[in-house]
């Protein structure tokens, strides 16, 4: 298993950039902070100065929260990678449920190369995404047809989340490890590998998108659980 894991290593994370569709918010908050600072200077207002500092601090938080580090997946192409950063909170019916906490990177990545053959958005509530009955929440289904079978990914909105961004459409091809979307704030991503695959993560494991292995083909002869360093 050790040799198998060594073959699955991925590059270290590169410099973080802002996630797609978040630049406007970050730049807007910075502009507001600057405007308040200028007004505080000319009006000699301590209140405006405090408000400027508050907005600037909030902007720094969003820059950190919407970070999107460069990653490049490696390893055998038939290994299914994690689509999200977070903690495996449940495993059911050959599906791994990954909860993304506020401190996790919230950009989702393709677990395998292939063609998007189905996408379906469903409106719903906003229960905490780690609850089992969060199946009632707003969600977005993405089905990727790969050389090894159909991979199902479900992006699930959480309590605070009010938006699920998806970067591709039906008919588009994605590359393993490529960015495919983002869920704002606390949320969850469920992944179901194709038939003939075995999940190698356990409840409580921490994983990283495009880095941690989620499932392997039964033909590899690897049946024990685990995921390699970086997850």
Q: Give the catalytic positions in this structure.
A: 187
Q: Is 128:227 a contact under the CB 8 Å cutoff?
A: no
Question: Between the CA of residue 11 and those of 8, 121, 162, what are the distances in Å?
Answer: 10, 33, 33
Using a 10 angstrom Cβ sphere, with 0-12 exposed, 13-18 middle and 19 or more buried, the burial of residue 167 is middle
Report the alpha-carbon distance of residue 100 to residue 33 in Å, rounded.
Answer: 29
Counting every residue, how long is the chain? 231
Two tokens at 111? 């677990």
Report the alpha-carbon distance of residue 18 to residue 45 in Å, rounded.
Answer: 33
Two tokens at 66? 């919407």
């Amino acid at each position: 298993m050790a040799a198998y894991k060594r073959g699955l290593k991925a590059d270290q994370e590169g410099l973080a950039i802002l996630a797609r569709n978040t630049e406007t918010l970050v730049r807007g908050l910075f502009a507001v902070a600057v405007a308040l600072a200028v007004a505080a200077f000319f009006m000699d207002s301590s209140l405006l100065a405090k408000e400027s500092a508050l907005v600037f601090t909030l902007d720094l938080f969003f820059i950190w929260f919407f970070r999107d580090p460069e990653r490049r997946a490696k390893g055998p192409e038939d290994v299914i990678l994690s689509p999200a950063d977070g903690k495996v909170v449940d495993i059911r019916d050959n599906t791994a449920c990954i909860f993304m906490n506020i401190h996790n990177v919230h950009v989702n990545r393709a677990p395998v190369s292939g063609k998007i053959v189905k996408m379906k958005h469903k409106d719903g509530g906003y229960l905490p995404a780690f609850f089992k009955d969060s199946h009632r929440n707003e969600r977005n289904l993405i089905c990727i047809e790969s050389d090894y079978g159909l991979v199902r990914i479900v992006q699930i909105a959480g309590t605070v989340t009010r938006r699920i961004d998806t970067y591709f459409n039906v008919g588009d091809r994605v590359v393993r490890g490529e960015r495919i979307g983002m869920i704002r704030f606390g949320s969850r991503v469920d992944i179901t590998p194709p038939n003939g695959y075995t999940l190698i993560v356990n409840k409580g494991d921490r994983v990283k998108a495009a880095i941690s292995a989620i499932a392997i083909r039964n033909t590899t002869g690897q049946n024990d659980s685990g995921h390699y360093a970086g997850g």
